[in-house]
Amino acid sequence: MVTQRRSNMKAVSMSISNRVRVRETRKIHQGWSSLTEATIDFQRRDGDWQTMVRDSYDCGHGSSILLYNLERRTVILVRQFRYSAYSDGYDELIIETPAGLLDDASPEERIRAEAEEETGYRIRSVRKVFEAYVSPGAVVQKIFCFVGAYTSEDRISDGGGLASEGEDIEVMEIDFDAAYAMIADYRIRDAKTIMLLQHAALNLFTG
């Protein structure tokens, strides 16, 4: 019989600054976002140093929120055009949680404003549940993820986003179980939305 051994070591945060030497950085593009090429030396676990070149794309940190109603077992999602997904061959609108770049606001301030602009709901209480790098191998972006309860009385407008920013957003109130099933059948492909729905399945809609 083969016995599998499990490591009981706990994850420990530690600085790696003594293992990284940045030789040179070069700005490849600067516009609404930026692309930087860096030449770095990284010390491997065996002690050897390895030189590598890495690109990093930076469009700023952002916030996202899952609006939920436990009594009705519903959530609010939005559907909109995302060119990057379209350019990759995804020929549908993206279903996702409301979100926006921080733009010098705090994560909570930004997501309150974005929730109202996109969905029309003015949320009284929001709670941060986690933060995550969306693609740390190449993208300098961290998403601060929130949840917030809503009622029908909280809706003060139709939402839809800002036309001046190219937004044309459809607001969707969906049964939670139906929304969660959209992960498995690939109708929801947005990472932050998948993470927030899974958080809700584990911590909110548990009954």
Residue 4 belongs to some domain of the structure: no
Q: How does pLDDT run across 147-201, given as a tens digit for each residue? A: 999 999 999 999 999 998 889 999 999 999 999 999 999 999 999 999 999 999 9
What is the average pLDDT score of the chain? 93
Instruction: Give the pLDDT band of residue 11 (cuts 50, 70, 90).
Output: low
123 & 165 share domain? yes
**Which carries the bigger pLDDT value, residue 91 or residue 10?**
91
pLDDT of residue 5: 46
pTM (global) more than 0.85: yes
**Which carries the bigger pLDDT value, residue 12 or residue 101?**
101
Number of domain units in the chain: 2
| pLDDT of 2 higher than 90 | no
173 & 84 share domain? yes
78 & 41 share domain? no
| pLDDT of 1 higher than 80 | no
Q: Say what percent of the chain tops pLDDT 70.
A: 94
36 & 73 share domain? no
155 & 185 share domain? yes
106 & 148 share domain? yes
178: domain range?
A: 62-203
Residue 178 belongs to some domain of the structure: yes
108: part of which helix (H) or strand (E)?
Answer: helix 107-119
119 & 199 share domain? yes
112 & 47 share domain? no
Residue 9 belongs to some domain of the structure: no
52 & 141 share domain? no
What average pLDDT does this structure show over 14-41? Answer: 95
E-only strand ranges, the chain = 20-30, 34-43, 49-58, 62-69, 74-80, 94-96, 99-101, 127-133, 142-149, 170-175
Residue 78 belongs to some domain of the structure: yes
Angle at 169 between CA 168 and CA 175, to 5 degrees: 160
